[in-house]
Structure formats: C-alpha cells, structure tokens
Amino acid sequence: MLSGKTIRWSDGVLGAAVWAVAIGTFGIFAWVVGDVALRGMSELSLGFLYESPSNAGRAGGIAPILVSTGLILAVCLGVSVPIGVGAAALLAEFTRSDGALGRFVRVSLDVLSGVPSIVFGLFGNAFFCVALGLGFSIVSGGLTLACMVLPLVIRATEEGFRAVPDDIRQGAAALGLSRASTFLKLLLPAALPGLGVGLALGIGRALAETAALLFTSGYVDRMPTSVFDSGRALSIHVYDLAMNVTGGEPRACATALVLVAILVAANSAAARLTTRGSGQSGNQ
C-alpha cells in the first residue's frame, strides 16, 4: 500500500508534467504567432482590411479575400452542420451502436477523415465544378469543404449525444414526450458541447484549407458578387504571396495574422455557444 508521502510525490510529478505540456503547447503557439507577427505587423492597417489588393497583392488590402472566405465558410457550415447533426442523431439515437449500419458509417467517416485534401479537391472539381456545372465558384469550394468537415462534425456531435445520461431519455419517455420533442428540447441542447467541438475543428480545417480550394473556388482576387463567382480564400492568398509573388512575404504574414485572429474568434464563439447550451440544458 502506498504511503501518503509517495502519493503526494507522484501527484506532484503528474501535476508538473501536465503543466509542462500545457506551457510547451502554448509556447509553440506563441512562437509561431510571434514570428508571423514580427514580419507582418507593420503591414496591418485599417486600409489593409477594406481595400482591394493591387500589384499582385504587394499593395492594397484583402477585402475581397475576406468576403470570399466568409462566403465559402458560410456555404460549408450551412451544408455540413444540418447534415452532420442529423447523421449524428441517427447514429447515436436511432441505430444500435453494434449494428452493421452504424459500424459501416463510422468506418466510412474515419476513412474520410484521413483522406488527403488534394483528393477532396479533385473530387470537388470533377463533381461540383464539372458534373454539376458550377464551375470554379465559391459554392463549389464551400460544398467541397463541407464534404471534408462532415466527418469531424458528425463524430464529435455523436459523442456529444452519447454523453447525455440515459436518465434524461427515460424521464422524457416516462412523461410521455415524443422522440422528436425529446431530441429537440433535451438531447440537442445537452449535446451542444460535442457540436461545439465539431464546429471548432471543422472551421479550423475549412479556414486553413488550400489544396482543395485551388481546384474548386478558384484563384481570382476580385470582389465576388454572388456565391457562383470565383473567389480566393485567405489561405490561398497567403500561399500565393509567399510562394509566387516576389516581395510578398510581409503581406503574406499580415494575411496569416488576420487568418489566425479569425480562427481564435471562431473557436471562442463555438466555446461560448457550447457553454450557453450546457447552461440552458442544465437549467432544464
């Protein structure tokens, strides 16, 4: 039997290891962001956010890039979230966990999660751009990204549903609530933490994606007038400035800073949604 001194020593070692990992992770993040900030902060200004790029991106701003990125993300989430929540509910609430259908769908989702983004890009180009006749457009890019983030949204939301205690389901059944009412009023709010995780992961992958969008949303940096226009995303703009434009690295770093800021804001919004949803379900 372990003595109290040994237990305290092992707890101290474990606590120190956890803190070391946390500090190391934050240090890497701060190092990357700090390096980009040092090289791109001088390019940031209000005009950088609302002006159009000029001179191949060496001058002007990123206003059309921001609009295109927002539209691509809106199409992606508008398609992936309803389908993802529905599929997660089907897997968690309406199929057996050990059933053949559930196993097949989960294996398919796991395989899709590991498919390289360039493969999604080729699929999106062949199906959305050519077969459906959408061409290089924001909607093609958004639909391709939706296919990419669906596995993340479905698996995270499914785990959120499975984390809901069975007492809630049994209590709802005892009160005579229909399965639809139970799902909408009790299970869905309680599963919001899982949905928030899926949204954070999906938004992160969507905003950082480059290869798939090169084949679907296009490369032009003009202001889009609709989702059927071609549009350049922030990640593609960073790549183009860093790799193809001489002297474009400072602007690439400034654009990368904006991209990181959007990612932080999106993750914070997902976390706030999760917290609010958990509070509401707890009050119920």
137 contacts 225 by C-beta, under 8 angstroms: no
- Reduced to 3 states (helix: H, G, I; strand: E, B; else coil), residue 209 is coil
pLDDT of residue 163: 82
The number of distinct structural domains making up the chain is 1
- For 25, 112, 145, 249, 254, the CA distances from 38, given in Å and listed in that order, are 20, 37, 31, 12, 9
Q: Identify the domain containing residue 199 by its residue range.
A: 66-233
- For 44, 60, 68, 228, 236, the CA distances from 50, given in Å and listed in that order, are 11, 9, 13, 22, 18
Ranges of residues in the chain whose predicted pLDDT is under 50: none
pLDDT of residue 270: 73
pLDDT of residue 27: 93
Indicate the burial class of 62 (C-beta count within 10 angstroms; 0-12, 13-18, 19 or more). Answer: buried
pLDDT of residue 128: 95
pLDDT of residue 5: 65
- Cα 62 to Cα 234: distance, rounded to the nearest angstrom: 8
Q: Is residue 41 part of a domain?
A: no
56 contacts 245 by C-beta, under 8 angstroms: yes
Residues forming a β-bridge with 60 = 53
Tokens of 88: 């997660």
Q: Is residue 274 part of a domain?
A: no
Q: Is residue 249 part of a domain?
A: no
Tens-digit pLDDT profile for residues 159-183 = 888 888 888 888 888 888 777 788 8
Nearest to 65 by CA among 279, 256, 284: 256
pLDDT of residue 197: 81
Tens-digit pLDDT profile for residues 51-62 = 999 888 888 899
- Cα 226 to Cα 30: distance, rounded to the nearest angstrom: 37
pLDDT of residue 64: 94
Identity (one letter) of the amino acid at 79? V
Query: Whose structure tokens read 């009412």?
Result: 181
Q: Is residue 154 part of a domain?
A: yes
Residues 6+ apart with CB under 8 A from 39: 249, 250, 253
Q: Is residue 27 part of a domain?
A: no
- Cα 46 to Cα 115: distance, rounded to the nearest angstrom: 39
Query: Whose structure tokens read 């639809």?
Result: 180
Q: Is residue 147 part of a domain?
A: yes
Question: With b meaning 16 or more CB within 10 Å and e meaning fewer, what string describes 162-194?
Answer: eebeeeebeebeeeebeeeebbeebbbbbbbbb
pLDDT of residue 3: 60
pLDDT of residue 67: 94
Q: Is residue 200 part of a domain?
A: yes
Q: Is residue 82 part of a domain?
A: yes
- CA angle, residues 141, 143, 145, in degrees to nearest 5: 70
Residues 6+ apart with CB under 8 A from 254: 40, 41, 43, 44, 48
pLDDT of residue 21: 93
CATH number at residue 91: 1.10.3720.10
43 contacts 254 by C-beta, under 8 angstroms: yes
